[in-house]
Amino acid sequence: MAAACVVVPLGPACVNLTGVRAGDRNVMTATITSKGEAVDLTGKTLTAQARKSATATTDPLDAVVTVDDALAGKITIRWPGDKVTTLLAGKATWAGVWDLQVAEPGQDPLTVAAGSFAAEMDVTR
């Protein structure tokens, strides 16, 4: 009888973002956890980007990631509305992918969240 294999997911949490609007604040808050415990973000750098595809090399949309409480793992991610407007380039919608990485000196970054990303033009301008 063959032994059963164990599946070990090393990938990030799947988080699909929709409703990111041109001209809006586009703010969300999150808590980074591991095994149910808050991750201490002291001394770590967090970055997030959206791109047309994972292999796209041009025109990324950079988020503004702020650590609100390092010991509690609390962060704010904001997709600047003026940058979303530029990303849309006159189109009504845009779809791509995004991810959030945590980096610390001397180590490879860790992607903690990733998924699809959907932006749309705001009506009130």
* All structural domains of the chain with their residue ranges: 13-120
Query: End-to-end alpha-carbon separation of the chain, Å?
Result: 66
CA nearest to 30, candidates 95, 112, 98? 112
Share of the chain above pLDDT 70, in %: 99
Whether the predicted pLDDT of 2 surpasses 90: no
Q: What whole-number distance in Å separates Cα of residue 47 and Cα of residue 32?
A: 13
Enter the DSSP assignment of 121: -
User: Which CATH number applies to 13-120: 3.40.190, 3.40.50, 2.60.40, 3.40.140?
Assistant: 2.60.40
Task: Tell me which range, 4-8, 17-21, 34-38, 56-60, is most confidently predicted by mean pLDDT.
Answer: 17-21
Q: What whole-number distance in Å separates Cα of residue 113 and Cα of residue 27?
A: 16
Q: What whole-number distance in Å separates Cα of residue 8 and Cα of residue 53?
A: 25
What integer best gives the mean pLDDT of the chain? 95
pLDDT of residue 1: 62
